[in-house]
Structure 1
Amino acid sequence: MLTAARLGAAALIAVLPAGAAAAPALADTPSPAAAAVPAGLYGSGDPTYDGVWRQSLTLTALANAKVVPADAAVGWLTGQQCADGGWPSYRADASVACDAKTEDSNATSVAVQALVALGGHQDTVDKGVQWLKTVQNTDGSWAYNPGSPGDADSTGLAVAALTAAKADPVGTAKAGRNGFDGLAGFQLGCAAPADQRGAFAYQPDQSGALAANALATSQAAPAAAGGHLPVVNTNRVDAAPKALTCADGSAQPVSRADSAEAAAAYLTAQLAATDQHLMLTMPGAAATPDFTATSWAALGLIQAGHPQQAAGAVDWLAAQGATWTKGGTDVSATATLLLVAQAAQRDPAAFGGADLVQQLTAAGPAPKAAVAAPPAAAPKKKDDGSGASPVWMLGVGLVVGVGGGLLLSLQRKRAARQSAGKPRA
C-alpha cells in the first residue's frame, strides 16, 4: 500500500507524470489530526508518515557527532521493527503485529543504517537486511512498498543499507540481478540527450523511457559511489567529475565503473545552472528550491570524491537551511543538514549560524552522554618588563600559601578551644 507521503523520496511521485520532479519531504509540523508523539521520538510533528525516517536520520547524525542518545530514543526505533525484519513508516501500537502492506524499504533502509552507526544491534540489523533481501525485485531493484515496481530512490537507499551492514550488494541478487544492476536500470546512458546522461530516473514511464530526476539522482548517487549514511568518505579527486563519454550514435548504458562519476557530473552541472541548488518543479506551480535534493546531491558528490563540486551546495544550504529546518523544529531536515555539514567537514555547531547538534538533541529525550570538548589551554602570560621573573613569583606564591595555611590552622585551633571553653592561645 502506497503511503500518503514519502519521506526520502518523492511525495506523491507515483501519481505524477513521468519525469516530474519530486515533492519535498513532509515537514515536521503538527497536523489538525496529528497522532500523539510517543516518548523517545524526536520532533513534535505528526509521526504517521515519517516517524521511523526522521528518528533514523537523527540517530545517525547524532551518533556521528559522538552523542550517545537516550535508551528511550533507540528503543523506540528498534521497537518499530516488525517480526519479519522490516519497518513501517510508523506504527502507533508496537504491541500489535504489523500489517505487511505497511512495511516500506525506505524506512527499513535508514533504520538499518542508523543502527549500524550506533553499534551494538547486530541481530536487529541482520533481520532488517534479511527483509530487504526477501523483497528485492527480480530486476535487482527495490520498491518503496514490496510488490510494486522498483524506483531509483528506494534502490539507492537499500543498496546503501546493505553496504553499511557489510552485506555486499553485488552478492544480493534476484534472478541473477544484483543491487547495482537494479540501480543501473534507472540511469540514463548514451541514448539520452547529452545534458541528461548520468542522471537517474525515478521510474521508467509506461513506454519504458527514462527521464532525468534530480531527487532520484541525488538519493541514488551515494550508493552508486559505494557509500552509506553517514557519509565520511575522505577520498578526494581534485578534477571535476567525468561526464559519460559516448560515441556518435551509441546507445551504451552506464557501466558500474562509470556510474558514480556520471551521476556526479550530472549533479555538478545541475547545481551550477541554478545557483548551487536544485529546484523542485511541480505541475502547475512555480519552481522552488529543493532542499532535500540539494542535500543529497552534496552527500553524493562528497562520497564520489568531489567535495570541491559539493562546496557551493553546502554553502547554499548553510545560508538558506534555517528556512528548511524551521529553527531545528523540523528534525528530519535538521538531521539531514547535520549529515551534510559532517560530510563536508564543516563545524556543525556553527553551520549557517546554527548549532545543529544542539537543535537535534533539544528535539528529543536528553542524551546519555556527549563527547566533551577538550578544555582550552590557559594563555601564557608574557613578561611585562616589571622585572618579576616567573621563578620569583612562584617563590612568593609558596610563601603566601604556607603563611595562609598557618593562619587558617591557628584560626581553627582558636575556634576549637572556644567551643570547648578553653582559653585562647
Structure 2
Amino acid sequence: MLTAARLGAAALSAALLAGVAAGPALADSPAPTPVTVPEGLYGKGDPTYDGVWRQSLALTALKAAKLVPADSAVGWLTGQQCEDGGWPSYRAAGAACDPKKEDSNATALAVQALVALGGHQDAVDKGVNWLKATQTADGGWGYNPGNLSDANSTGLAVSALFAANADPASVAKAGTNALDGLRPFQLGCAARPEERGSFAYQLEGGTIAPNALASAQGALAAAGGYLPVASSVHADTAPKALDCANGSPVPRTLDGEGAGAYLTAQLAANGNHLMLTMPGADPKPDYTATAWAALSLIQGGHPQQAAGAVDWLTQQGATWTKNGTDPAATATLLLVTSAAQRDTAPLTGELTALGPAPKGTDSSDQAAAPAKKKNDGFGQYWLIIVGLLVGIGGGVLLSLQRKRNPNL
C-alpha cells in the first residue's frame, strides 16, 4: 500500500503536473516570500519544484514553432545540469548539487529539449549516462535515484533515450532493458477489457489500476516517441486494442497501439478529455494527461483520434494556462498545437511573453524564403520581357505586310 508520505508526494506531483492547485493556504500561514525569478527562466512563479521541467518544455515548444530561443534561456537550462549529468528540479545560483535530489523527469525533458535545439551533444551524452547510471534493477526509473520505479518516470526516460538515439532496448540493468522495464506497468489481457492497454503509476501493493497521466506518458514511449512530436506518419485507422482472443502473449511492438486504443476510448467516454482522480477528492479534468494523450496518438499515426482532445484543449486553453501565465501549461499546449498542425501564433506569443525574446525564426525557414521570392520575381520580369518582345515583333511584322500589300 502507499504510505501517507508517498500519497502526499504523489498528490503534490500530480497537482503540479496537471496545473491544479495543491490546496488553499491556511489562514494563519505566513505570507509567502517574494520569488526572484532567475534571468533566462520562463515564467514568474516559484521555480523550486518545476524550474527545469517548465524551461525544457518552453524551449522544446519554441523550437517546434520554428523559433530560436534566446541564449540566456538555453544557458539557464544547461547551467542547471550537475557534474554527474543529471538535472535537479531546480538549483539556485551557486548552490551545490545534491545527487539524491536529481530528478529523472527533469533530466529526461532537458535531454529532449537539448536534442531538439541541437549543438549540445556533451550535455546530452552526460544526461543519457546519468539515466543509465540511475536505472533501477527492474529496468525502469523512479522520480529520484533510489525511488521505486514508476510508469511516468520510466516513460519519460525511454522517450529521452529515443530522442538521443540511445536504443532503449540496449539500455539495461540487471538483465532487464528499458522497454521491458516499462512493460510491466501496462495492463494486459489479464485486466478487464476496458482497462487493457492502460498504464498504472506504480506496481507496489499487488493491485494495479489505470492512471491517466501514466497511460498518456507511457503511451508516447511505447510508440517510440519523444518531444517535440512530429505529425509525419498517418495510419488513417483507429489504434488496435490488445488482441487477447487466442491467448498468445501480445508482442511488445503492439504496446503503443494498445495504449492508444485505451486512450481513444477514455477520451470518447469523458467528452474528449481525461480525468484526474486524487484520493479523497472528486474527479476533475486532467489537462496535462489529455495533452500527452493527444501527443501519443499523433505519434502513433492517429491524428483523427487526437483531434477531439486537441479541440477540447484549445477551448479550455485559457483556463489551463491561466490566461497564458503558466509556462509549463502554455508550452505543452503549444507542443500539442504544433503536432496537430494547428495555428501556433497565439500560443507562441503568450509563451514568448513569459521569458526572454527568441533570437529569431529557424534559419532553415529563412534560407528558403528569400530564394523563393527571388525566383518568383525573376519569373515575373521574364514574362514581361517576353511579352514586350512578342508585341514588338508582331507590330514589325504587320507593318511589313502592309507595305507589301496596301489593301491590308
- TM-score w.r.t. the length of structure 1 is 0.79
Does residue 228 of structure 1 match 2:219? Answer: no
* Residue aligning to 1:327: 323
Q: Which has the larger radius of gyration?
A: 1
- CA distance in structure 2 between the partners assigned to 1:183 and 1:106 by the alignment: 15
Counterpart of 1:408 in structure 2 is: none
Q: How much has 1:138 moved relative to structure 2?
A: 1.3
1:253 deviation in Å? 5.7
Pair 1:356 & 2:347 matched: yes
Q: Distance in 2 between matches of 1:145 and 1:311?
A: 35
* Residue equivalent to 2:261: 265
TM superposition shift of 1:223 = 0.9
User: In 2 relative to 1, CA 202–126 (structure 1 residues): closer, same or farther, beyond 3 Å?
Assistant: same
Cα distance in 2 for partners of 1:245, 1:108 equals 35
- 1:142 maps to amino acid: W
Is the Cα–Cα contact under 8 Å of residues 28 and 44 in structure 1 kept in the other structure? no
Alignment of 1:57-96 (within 5 A): 57-93=57-93, 95-96=94-95
Q: Deviations over 1:120-151 (max 9, x none)?
A: 00001000000000000111101111111100
Q: 357, 360, 365: which one pairs with 1:366? A: 357
Q: In 1, are the aligned partners of 2:159 and 2:221 still within 8 Å (CA)?
A: yes
User: CA offsets, 1:167-186, max 9 Å, x none?
Assistant: 11011111111110011010
Query: SS of the counterpart of 1:189?
Result: coil
Q: What secondary structure is seen at the aligned counterpart in 1 of 2:185? A: coil
Q: Alpha-carbon deviations, 1:184-210, whole Å to 9, x = none? A: 010000110111000000001322x32
Q: Deviations over 1:58-107 (max 9, x none)?
A: 000101112111111110000000010000000112x3320111101000
Distance 2:180 2:261 in 1: 20
Deviation of the 1:33 alpha carbon = 2.9
| Contact 1:341/1:347, CA 8 A, preserved across alignment | yes
Report matched runs for 1:59-138 at 5 Å. Answer: 59-93=59-93, 95-138=94-137
Letter in 1 for 2:53: W
* 1:8-407 alignment runs, 5 A limit: 12-13=9-10, 22-23=14-15, 25=17, 27=19, 32-33=32-33, 35-93=35-93, 95-207=94-206, 209-247=207-245, 250=247, 254-349=250-345, 355-371=346-362
In the alignment, the residues of structure 1 paired with residue 308 and residue 250 of structure 2 have an alpha-carbon distance, to the nearest angstrom, of 27
Q: Given residue 288 of structure 2, which amino acid in structure 1 is its aligned partner?
A: T
Could you say what secondary structure the match of 1:340 adopts?
Answer: helix
Q: Deviations over 1:252-297 (max 9, x none)?
A: 6643111000000000000000110011122232221110000000
Runs of 4+, deviation exceeding 4 Å: 26-29, 371-377
2:342 is matched by which residue type in structure 1?
Answer: R
- In structure 1, distance between residues paired with 2:283 and 2:73: 37
Write the distance in 2 (CA, Å) between the matches of 1:204 and 1:125. Answer: 30
Equivalent-residue separation in structure 2 for 1:254 and 1:341 (angstroms):
33
Q: Compute the displacement of 1:32 (Å).
A: 2.0
Whichever residue aligns with residue 76 of structure 1, its letter is W
Letter paired with 1:366? A
Partners of 1:28 and 1:329 within 8 A in 2 = no
Hey, what's the Cα distance between the residues in 1 that align with 2:89 and 2:281? Answer: 28
CA change 1:301–1:34 in 2 (3 A) is farther
Contact 1:28 1:43 in 2 (8 A): no
Which amino acid is the alignment partner of residue 101 of structure 1?
A: K
Percent identity among equivalent residues?
Answer: 66
Paired with 1:309 and 1:28, the residues of 2 have a C-alpha distance of 26
CA contact (8 A) 2:220 2:295 kept: yes
Q: Which structure 2 segments of 5+ residues have no match?
A: 22-30, 374-386, 389-408
**Cα pair distance change 1:15/1:332, threshold 3 Å:** closer
- Counterpart Cα distance in 2 of 1:177 and 1:230: 28
Change (3 A) 1:305 1:73: same
Number of the residue aligned with 1:418: none
Cα separation, partners in 2 of 1:24 and 1:243, compared to 1, 3 Å: farther
User: How far 1:327 moved relative to its partner?
Assistant: 1.6
**Structure 1 contact 188–253 (Cα < 8 Å) conserved:** no
Say which is worse superposed, 65-74 or 309-318, in terms of deviation. Answer: 65-74
Once the two structures are TM-superposed, the CA of residue 26 in structure 1 deviates from its matched residue by 6.5
Change in Cα spacing, 1:23 to 1:187, as seen in structure 2 (3 Å) is same
Name the structure where helix makes up a greater proportion of residues.
2
C-alpha distance in structure 2 between counterparts of 1:64 and 1:292, whole Å: 18
Give the aligned length.
358
1-structure distance, mates of 2:80, 2:111: 12
